[in-house]
């Protein structure tokens, strides 16, 4: 893909994520996607995102910066939402959480095959008043 196509691709991916459309999100993932320090595979990715959406039904990401080079995308995002459901064992607090996210994606055939990024769970849990992650 050309850089402009990758930027459009990422915009579509972010849109699907902000709609909380798990089927659409899955369409951007390679079934065997590898994630640094997290369980691999599209099923694990979707499970983690579904948990986030359950805990924060109004969760949204805003793109701050996007860099495209070869088959990689580097993204600086801002994620935020209100904690209205159980998340990682923490009952709803009604607190608003806001985290900076930094992510690296490698694409092949229009799908994410590798991902690494910041550990936002730790920051989210701290904002919910839980100190251990």
pLDDT digits (tens, 9 = 90+) for 67-83: 999 999 999 999 999 99
Q: What per-residue confidence (pLDDT) applies to 1?
A: 85
Q: What per-residue confidence (pLDDT) applies to 119?
A: 85
Q: What is the pTM of this model?
A: 0.92
Q: What per-residue confidence (pLDDT) applies to 130?
A: 78
- Reduced to 3 states, what is the DSSP secondary structure of residue 112? strand
Q: Count of alpha carbons within 13 Å of 29, Cβ hemisphere only?
A: 23
Q: What per-residue confidence (pLDDT) applies to 84?
A: 98
Length of the chain: 133
- Reduced to 3 states, what is the DSSP secondary structure of residue 101? strand
Q: What per-residue confidence (pLDDT) applies to 132?
A: 56
DSSP H or E run through 49: helix 42-55
All residue ranges of the chain with pLDDT < 70 are 131-133
């Amino acid at each position: 893909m050309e850089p402009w196509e990758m930027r459009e691709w990422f915009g579509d991916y972010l849109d699907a994520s902000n709609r909380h459309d798990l089927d659409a999100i899955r369409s951007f993932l390679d079934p065997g996607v590898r994630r640094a320090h997290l369980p691999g595979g599209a099923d694990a990715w979707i499970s983690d995102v579904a948990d986030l959406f359950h805990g924060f039904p109004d969760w949204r990401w805003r793109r701050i910066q996007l860099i495209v080079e070869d088959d990689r995308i580097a993204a600086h995002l801002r994620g935020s939402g209100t904690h209205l459901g159980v998340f990682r064992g923490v009952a709803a607090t009604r607190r608003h959480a806001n985290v900076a996210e930094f992510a690296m994606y490698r694409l092949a055939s229009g799908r994410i095959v590798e991902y690494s990024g910041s550990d936002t769970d730790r920051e989210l849990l701290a904002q919910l008043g839980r100190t251990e992650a």
